[in-house]
Amino acid sequence: MTQDQTQNASPSDVQRLPYAPSDPDAVPIRAARVTVDAGGDLGVLDRPWASLGYDEINWTYTPQGRRTLQTIGGFAETPYHVRPHNIFNSGTGLGLPHWGSGNVYHEDADGKPFYDFTIADLTYDAIVGSGHHPLVELAFTPLALVPDEAKDEFPFENSPSQYSAYEAGWWSYPPKDYAKWGGLVAALVEHVLERYGVDEVQHWLWELWNEPDISYWRGTPEQFHDLYDVTVKAIRDVYPAAKVGGPAVTGGDKGAVFLHGFLQACADRDLPVDFVSFHTKGSHFTPWRTYGPIGAPAPVKESPSTPKMLREIDRALAVIEQFPQYVGAPVIVDECDASVPAHWGIYDNANFAYRNNEYYPVFQAKLMKKVLDLNAQHTAKVHEATTWSFSMEGERYFEGTRSFVTASGIEKPLMNAYRAFAHLGDRRLAATSDQSADISDISALGNGLPEEVDVIASRNSTNGSVAILVWRHRDDQYAEDPDPTRVDVEVNGLDTGEWTVRHYRIDAGHSNSHTVWQDQGAPQDPTPEQLAAITARQGLEKFADDTQAQVDGGFNLQLELPLPSLSLVVLTKVA
């Protein structure tokens, strides 16, 4: 349930999302110049990419789910916040696409609450055990707290493909007893403090609900404000230092209005908001599902829109800035994704193909840089921009779902964007490109950013290494260019001496398990030998052998970047 404004939402709930159209007349960039000042320290490099989330809470602790979390924990330079849905949903714990259940809340024959933390323990053990911290989304309404009016007014027809009216939408109604809800919240906080200790739980974030501005909340805004009041007090009574926030609204017009009303209500009631959260999505393909022959091409070629996402973030930041008491709180875009929904793929609409290949990791690098650029224009700052990507059980190889891994746990190229991010140091360096897309006037941008070459550069304050992330991208997954772009990279301000130059690459031929699988004939039952060949190429790969360079203040490097691609160059001074 999420996020994706799809399942269980009526057509009126779903906002039409612009997309990036293909422009056959676009002129490719043939040359670009990137300049990095290794002495130009711009301060701490924020790390908005350090978080992930997903609908299917019960896939957290499957073997593939655990391995995915452990893989990210193994290379992550900082602990990620991990945000699954459905901790309070009633159910058996069977994992299904777009659904899950923590099954915590129950009542005895006399209506007295009791709690079962079996699934919660499995979930948070897997997250914490992999080196991450939970962002606890306190949702949705347990079956025993569903109000009677839900059972009267919610339309439902029995179907073998849907369990009951509860799964179909009863969960989205406000709980009928706010005191019992508060007791449930307090019990969860008490339990995790006892199990994990305050040294761990101090890093957790506590958020009420998900996207209450659409049909995931079938109450009024005022009812939501009251529930936030109850929830915050329940948490703080148990753990006064807990970080609480919300309201996790969508990026549409309804979301902006709801966000303003939420912050106003919190200000009026003097309620704490330790972080402010909202969402943005980059595209909604037409139609979402084609129901056509397997492998049919997309009826309309569409691509994710970076400007749409930036406009929605910009608007939400402007709303937050109307409330001085909250403007300094970290902003968490805890669903920040190129397209909806997560659990549909290339067999639903062929436009989801970008999720399998090199387009997606390069898009993510560009998006994170633009988020940092947007922060420079605002007093409210995005602290985390969460990818709603994880792991899907039971899918075919390279199904095209929004996920880090595909069948057999094979890592998709997306994973390597986050490996590349992990190489960036803690201090941001001044870096410019003469071919970067200008976002200073977001209202003037179209549906898609034009082709660009852009850069993020950093220094590691511990060992002095300099990491430079350079990419070439255009908001058009169907754009083709047989010729690479020449990028001249000039690095100034380096200490004199010998430096090791290490060059990583993500493109069609590097760090790309999907290309290997395609070259094998796209088998849906790969042999052990084929699987070994795929996994051998799934990590972040070097573009060339390391070289040594004698530096006297400056260093020059020439890159050849196909469309799309990303290069990570790491310079380390030889001791």
DSSP string, 152-197: HHS----BTTB--HHHHTGGGSPPS-HHHHHHHHHHHHHHHHHHH-
pLDDT band at 3 (very low <50, low <70, confident <90, very high): very low
pLDDT band at 163 (very low <50, low <70, confident <90, very high): confident
Map tokens 């997606």 to a residue: 360
Question: What pLDDT is recorded for position 38?
Answer: 97
Q: What percent of the chain has pLDDT over 90?
A: 90
Mean pLDDT rounded to a whole number for the chain: 94
Question: Going by C-beta distance under 8 Å and a sequence separation of 6 or more, which residues neighbour residue 170?
Answer: 141, 143, 146, 150, 151, 154
Q: What pLDDT digit, counting tens, does each position of 465-485 carry? A: 999 999 999 999 999 999 999
Question: What pLDDT is recorded for position 21?
Answer: 65
Angular region, 5: left φ>0, alpha ψ -120 to 50, beta rest: left
Q: What pLDDT digit, counting tens, does each position of 388-442 carry? A: 999 999 999 999 999 999 999 999 999 999 999 999 999 999 999 999 999 999 9
Q: What pLDDT digit, counting tens, does each position of 250-308 carry? A: 999 999 999 999 999 999 999 999 999 999 999 989 888 888 899 899 999 999 999 99
Question: Going by C-beta distance under 8 Å and a sequence separation of 6 or more, which residues neighbour residue 268?
Answer: none
Q: What pLDDT digit, counting tens, does each position of 485-519 carry? A: 999 999 999 999 999 999 999 999 999 999 999 99
Is 426 within 8 Å of 78 (Cβ atoms)? Answer: no
pLDDT band at 16 (very low <50, low <70, confident <90, very high): very low
CA 374 to CA 126: how far, in whole Å?
34
Question: What pLDDT is recorded for position 22?
Answer: 65
Domains within the chain, CATH numbers bracketed: 27-43+425-573 (2.60.40.1500), 46-54+78-408 (3.20.20.80)
CA 516 to CA 457: how far, in whole Å?
30
Closest-CA residue to 468 (of 456, 480, 454): 456
Whether 166 shows a pLDDT value over 50: the answer reads yes
Q: Which two tokens stand for residue 366?
A: 């560009």
Question: What pLDDT is recorded for position 499?
Answer: 98
pLDDT band at 10 (very low <50, low <70, confident <90, very high): very low
CA 376 to CA 370: how far, in whole Å?
10
Q: What pLDDT digit, counting tens, does each position of 517-540 carry? A: 999 999 999 999 999 999 999 999
Whether 19 shows a pLDDT value over 90: the answer reads no
Average pLDDT of the segment spanning 201-220: 98
Whether 385 shows a pLDDT value over 50: the answer reads yes
Average pLDDT of the segment spanning 198-220: 98
CA 284 to CA 312: how far, in whole Å?
15
Closest-CA residue to 208 (of 258, 235, 248): 248
- Determine how many CB atoms are found less than 10 A away from the CB of residue 504: 23
Whether 30 shows a pLDDT value over 70: the answer reads yes
Q: Which two tokens stand for residue 13?
A: 């709930």
Bridge partners for 504 per DSSP: 542, 568
